[in-house]
Amino acid sequence: MTEIDSVGIIGAGQMGNGIAHVAALAGLAVVMIDVQAEALSRALTTMSKNMDRQVQKGSISAADREAALGRVTTATDNAALSGCDIVIEAATEREEIKLAILRGLVPHLKPDAIIASNTSSIPITRLAAVTDRPEKVIGMHFMNPVPVMKLVEVIRGIATDDATFEATQALATRLGKTTAVAEDYPAFIVNRILVPMINEAVYTLAEGVGSVTAIDTAMKLGTNQPMGPLELADFIGLDTCLAIMRVLHEGMGDSKYRPCPLLVKYVEAGWLGRKTKRGFYDYTQDPPRPTR
């Protein structure tokens, strides 16, 4: 395969609809799959609203918006992916779910189709091993929110061939992204550095070194970060942060990656951050109020 013209996306959540958004604007035919028809409907509404904002800002034209939305089709059956040049898995960050998706996907793909995973931490080699084409499996980790963030981490598994890598790099460029190539180690580059920092911020909170407000203020003003680590954790999702720390702890076998018990407690409580309206901040109030 020399060029990718059609993209399948599995998962219509925040990451999936963001990837569909940039792919459609880049002129690619997009097929978005989800087991829930309601999720697909919400994703299309989100894309439309986000493109409306781009039109208002002058970054795209109204004609660009209409053309892009017209390139997106949706389905609840993997059979709709049969014509895609690449399929990007963008499901929740749980290995058993991703493995099941990949096993069910393979029978529906054309022989030369590439499989990419948007995983933020799970080894690509392990995901590739359940497919019939490990040489055509690659990591393509987009940052959230996808239409805004410029980076894509590209991760080769042990079997990923040069043609797959080059086609993926070319696709990322077409989507207007800059790539950082990472080796296939747990959490890759961004999250191996970022999420342990968040985990340490939670330890700092749990040990009473500082309050939620003090920790976030210190890191924003002391290191010039746009969000403090606890605010960022809520934005990412505390369940996702915990899943990444568990992958790191298991994969590296080092106690420095042990998830903070307070992070575990918040996830067990269902306090997952912005998406549940409560995490380290209570988002039912304006402005959000710290919960500790």
Active-site annotation holder among 118, 153, 199, 249: 153
Q: Which of 191, 199, 231, 249 is catalytic?
A: 191
The per-residue pLDDT for range 228-269, each reduced to its tens digit, is 999 999 999 999 999 999 999 999 999 999 999 999 999 999
Percent of the chain scored above 70 by pLDDT? 99
Residue range(s) in the chain whose domain bears CATH number 3.40.50.720: 6-182
Q: Would you call 120 a catalytic residue per the annotation? A: yes
Task: Look over the chain and give the mean of its residue pLDDT values, rounded to a whole number.
Answer: 96
**6-182 CATH:** 3.40.50.720
* Sign of the dihedral through C-alpha 79, 80, 82, 85: negative
Check if 191 is active-site: yes
Q: How many CB atoms lie within 10 A of CB 100?
A: 13
One-letter amino acid for residue 32 of the chain: M
The CATH architecture one would assign to domain 192-290 is Orthogonal Bundle (1.10)
The tens digit of pLDDT for each residue in 200-239 reads 999 999 999 999 999 999 999 999 999 999 999 999 999 9
Q: Which of 78, 108, 117, 141 is catalytic?
A: 141
- Are the CB atoms for 195 and 205 separated by under 8 Å? no
Tokens at residue 83, please? 């014509």
| Residue-level pLDDT at 1 | 56
Task: Give the mean pLDDT of 77-100.
Answer: 95
What per-residue confidence (pLDDT) applies to 84? 97
Strand pairing category for 6-10 and 29-33: parallel
Residues of the chain with CATH 1.10.1040.10: 192-290
Active site residue 211: no
Mean pLDDT over residues 72-78, rounded? Answer: 96
Note the pLDDT tens digit of each residue in 101-122: 999 999 999 999 999 999 999 9
Contact 25, 146 (CB under 8 A): no
This prediction has a pTM of: 0.90
Choose, from 17, 117, 120, 121, the residue flagged as catalytic: 120
User: Quick one: pLDDT band at residue 2, thresholds 50, 70, 90?
Assistant: low
249 part of the active site: no
Tokens coding 64: 């660009």
What is residue 3's predicted lDDT score, i.e. its pLDDT?
82
Quick one: pLDDT at residue 5? 95
Backbone angles phi, psi at 91, to 5 degrees: -85, 180
